[in-house]
Amino acid sequence: MKNLIVSSADEKYAHLLIELYYSLKQLLTKYDFAIFDCGLQNETINFFKSENIKLIKPEWEFKIPSYKIRGRENLKIQFSRFYMDKYFPGYGNYIWLDSDTWVNCEKTFELYLQGSEKNGFSITPQVDRSYKRLIDVRWLFGFPKKVNSINYKNISRSISKKLGRKYAGYYTMNAGCFAYNFKFSGMDKLRSNLKLASAKGRIFGSDQVALALTHFEDKVDYELLPSYCNWLCETKLPKFCSKKNLFVEPYLPNHNIGIMHLAGMDDDRKKELIFHKIKTLDEDTIEKPLRYQK
């Protein structure tokens, strides 16, 4: 069975979606590519249709009050990314990529497929020797006044503070890139937790809550991939290997980065390219955007 890569965007990030697609073109002999349309304009839709890319408008998988949605149709993707097999049936493995990602190294990217084949679900936790801050602690007279983390904030607000405290110090699963096999036995549990996480109408972050609860609370095993599979550029800029013409992780062994991820980098996600000072493995410094360049 063939495998499918899926992404999504509204028109605000259509330029990133197109760049992601161009970064994938060399892979499209092994994969198909499809798009959840959450507000693309006709020009962008016609471009992808001319490339024979299938576009589908997703539904709300769960009932969410309209006052919680406030017209933000793009938030459907918090749920739809876990129902790729519903919208695009007939594939062996499904790989989700946020529109602010792109494929830097095909061989490293293939680990998502290998992990899905081996364990049913593969994903990269947000932990690495380059990522300095693990948890945010506010102090008062030498005592912790407030302990905060992505898991604590999201789980406390959507489920309970007790459960939030339980997993406050646990790593976050980055939902911007993951893969699952169509036979993955934990998908029902994951979708159930997704529904639970959104029951109070909290949509944004419900995906990370569901991923955390399914893995930590329900003991569903994922194939956990190293950070160079999904590199969070906001946390630490990568280095660049001029010989291979690839971004690599900043410390030894300087492994090729699979997915470049611009989460949290608002300026870099705008249409105008931002150039960064990037160190090379030859100890030079070059000015280069973190986005995909044809």
Sequential pLDDT tens for the chain (294 residues): 899 999 999 999 999 999 999 999 888 888 999 999 999 999 999 999 999 999 999 988 877 666 566 667 777 888 899 999 999 999 999 999 999 999 999 999 999 999 999 999 999 999 999 988 777 777 777 767 677 788 888 888 888 888 888 888 889 999 999 999 999 999 999 999 999 888 776 777 789 999 999 999 999 999 999 999 999 999 999 999 999 999 999 999 999 999 999 999 999 999 999 999 999 999 999 999 999 998
Retrieve residue 289's tokens.
């955007």
**Could you tell me the residue ranges of all domains in the chain?**
3-129+172-227, 136-166, 229-289
Measured distance CA(50)–CA(62) in Å, rounded: 33
At 74, is the secondary structure helix, strand, or coil? helix
Measured distance CA(57)–CA(7) in Å, rounded: 12
Q: What pLDDT does 219 receive?
A: 96
Measured distance CA(123)–CA(55) in Å, rounded: 24
Residues facing 158 on adjacent strands? none
Degrees to nearest 5, angle at CA 9 with 6 and 10: 150
Q: Which helix (H) or strand (E) covers residue 59, if one does?
A: none
Indicate the fold that domain 3-129+172-227 takes in CATH.
Spore Coat Polysaccharide Biosynthesis Protein SpsA; Chain A (3.90.550)
DSSP state of 228: G
At 283, is the secondary structure helix, strand, or coil? coil
Measured distance CA(146)–CA(70) in Å, rounded: 30
Buried/exposed code over 75-85 (b: 16+ C-beta within 10 A; e: otherwise) = bbbbbbbbbbb
Measured distance CA(58)–CA(276) in Å, rounded: 36
At 180, is the secondary structure helix, strand, or coil? strand
Q: What pLDDT does 65 receive?
A: 61
Q: What pLDDT does 66 receive?
A: 65
> Are the beta carbons of 79 and 191 closer than 8 angstroms?
no
At 34, is the secondary structure helix, strand, or coil? strand
What's the pTM? 0.93
